[in-house]
Amino acid sequence: MQYESTTTLSYAQPQLYIAGRWLEAQDRRTEDVLNPATGQVLAQLPHATRADLDAALQAAQQAFAGWRAAAPLERSRILRAAATLVRERADTIALSMTLEQGKPLREARLEVLASADTFDWYAEEGRRNYGRVVPGRTLTQRITVLHEPVGVCAAFTPWNFPAVTPARKIAGALAAGCTLILKLAEETPASGLALVRALHDAGLPPGVLNAVFGVPGEVSSYLLDSPVVAKFSFTGSTAVGKLLAQQAAKGLKRATMELGGHAPAIICADADVNQAADMLVAGKFRNAGQICIAPTRFYVHAQVYDAFVQAFVERTRKLQPGNGLKESSHLGPLANPRRQQAMRSLIDDAVQHGARVECGGQALEGPGFFWQPTVLTDVPEHARLMNEEPFGPLALINRVDSVEEAIERSNRLPYGLASYAFTQHSPTRMQLTRGLQTGMLGINSLNVSMSEAPFGGVKESGWGSECGIEGLQAYCDIKLISED
């Protein structure tokens, strides 16, 4: 088959990027990068040594003075030029992404374009990093508020969105005038490195951005222990976020964290059931469900419950998991065999507690880490699945008798990242808007992720936001000047 012959040929050997130089493995420790659709080894990833991490810290520290002093227009020019290069290279980057992450090529391409869009947005927002003038208490007093870059930052990004998540952290930091050491996910190095390369080719000064790999916990501990690092940004699980917050507390480092979610989707009695099913099936199974904002706990009003379950299951059954390089594949594999084991154990536990499997429920035979798109109904709240983020292609549908009940059950978990609701009724919208404990709410829409709007969670789903004006301010300190 043609797609199989495309594999390793198109995958560049990953390198470290420190002080503007690309570093090969040489005698460094390496790990295999796997294609999750085939299990095949794509490349050897070099791990940064202690000396490499020290070099990255030193480079980022040295570059900071020049980069913070650079005119916002100059920083904007480089980000924009990099965005243009990313767009020109979109097909090649998307192919690497599908090989290392598994998502269908069309999804990969959209993600690459979204990364370029993120660079462009921050390029412009960095030019509008306005302070303000506060009226003084006397005629002669002048009070000015300035936004200044926090300094050297560290960022740790996961494998599920291997381009757009690094893009948010890179562009936010650089547009604000910070320098950055980025630890990309070891599973998916090529997509993020392609962004780094675009910035390098666009003329980014050495040391402003550095990219490293290693054992995640070791690299993050080393960087967070360093007095050079003023702030970190992390996207990943709540458990790891809590660990990093503890480590960073020692040096009182600032943090932005986008952590786990378990998004409720509320289908009200007046909802357009077919429209809701179309949108929610697409949203649930995109990226094989490995999305922190994926709709997962479906609370459906009893009046439309049977119709919704039928519509949702019908559409789910038509989805074809497969290698993302094949046009016919609707969803790719899970990231690794651990995720398959997690799906098995969560589904078994739910069934033991009385849940019914409406479709799917099994791994696919053959190579790769695939899981069938799965729908479960009547999943009791005390089953693990209703409490732990599944991070996979599992939809859990339950019946409710009122909007109040749906809100109460939605708010039951410590998570509060995204929530969704389907209703045409204005007072119900208001009730949901006021009642749901969530960082983002989509009403008759699943689109809650745009570069111009804040993306983040409440409760244990994170601290702060990325994107929007908030995403730029997250990399700034506030300085007050009072003059007389």
- For ligand NAD, the binding residues (CB under 6 A) are 156, 158-160, 185, 216-217, 220, 235-237, 240, 243-244, 258-260, 292, 338, 389, 391
* Helix and strand totals (H; E) in the chain: 15, 20
Residue 366 CB, shortest distance to ligand NAD, in Å, is 22
- C-alpha distances (whole Å) from 245 to each of 87, 219, 232, 256, 464 are 35, 15, 9, 10, 13
- C-alpha distances (whole Å) from 205 to each of 30, 156, 323, 384, 426 are 28, 22, 39, 49, 52
Residue 290 CB, shortest distance to ligand NAD, in Å, is 7
Residue 135 CB, shortest distance to ligand NAD, in Å, is 43
Contact 397, 369 (CB under 8 A): no
Q: Residue 79 or 440: which CB sits closer to ligand NAD? A: 440
Q: Residue 457 or 468: which CB sits closer to ligand NAD? A: 457
Q: Which of 292, 389, 467, 476 is catalytic?
A: 292
Q: Residue 168 or 301: which CB sits closer to ligand NAD? A: 168
Residue 218 CB, shortest distance to ligand NAD, in Å, is 8
Residue 90 CB, shortest distance to ligand NAD, in Å, is 22
Query: Residues for the chain: how many in total?
Result: 484
Residue 68 CB, shortest distance to ligand NAD, in Å, is 26
Residue 185 CB, shortest distance to ligand NAD, in Å, is 4
292 is catalytic: yes
Question: Sheet of 476-483: strands edge to edge?
Answer: 132-135, 142-149, 476-483
Q: What distance lies between CA 37 and its chain's CA centroid? A: 21
State the CB neighbour count (10 A cutoff) for residue 266.
28
Q: Which of 258, 358, 389, 466 is catalytic?
A: 258
Query: CB burial class (10 A; 0-12, 13-18, 19+) of residue 137?
Result: exposed
- C-alpha distances (whole Å) from 366 to each of 4, 160, 326, 333, 420 are 15, 22, 16, 12, 35
Q: Residue 235 or 473: which CB sits closer to ligand NAD? A: 235
Q: Give dist(CA 339, CA 368) in Å, integer.
A: 12
Residue 254 CB, shortest distance to ligand NAD, in Å, is 17
Who's near 118: CB < 8 A, 6+ residues apart? 164, 167, 168, 171, 451, 467
Residue 392 CB, shortest distance to ligand NAD, in Å, is 8
Q: Quick one: tokens of 215?
A: 């054992």
Pairing of strands 476-483, 374-377: unpaired
Q: Residue 186 or 358: which CB sits closer to ligand NAD? A: 186
Who's near 408: CB < 8 A, 6+ residues apart? none
88 is catalytic: no
Ramachandran category for residue 413: left, alpha or beta (phi over 0 → left; psi -120 to 50 → alpha): beta
Pairing of strands 462-463, 254-258: antiparallel
Coil/strand/helix, residue 417: coil
Q: Residue 203 or 414: which CB sits closer to ligand NAD? A: 414
Q: Give dist(CA 411, CA 396) in Å, integer.
A: 16
Q: Give dist(CA 110, CA 81) in Å, integer.
A: 19
Q: How far apart are the first and last CA of the chain?
A: 76
Q: Quick one: tokens of 318?
A: 């038509």
Q: Residue 111 or 389: which CB sits closer to ligand NAD? A: 389
Q: Residue 43 or 244: which CB sits closer to ligand NAD? A: 244
Query: CB burial class (10 A; 0-12, 13-18, 19+) of residue 197?
Result: buried
Residue 231: half-sphere exposure toward Cβ, Cα within 13 Å:
25
Q: Give dist(CA 63, CA 404) in Å, integer.
A: 54
Q: Residue 159 or 298: which CB sits closer to ligand NAD? A: 159
Write out the catalytic residue numbers: 258, 292
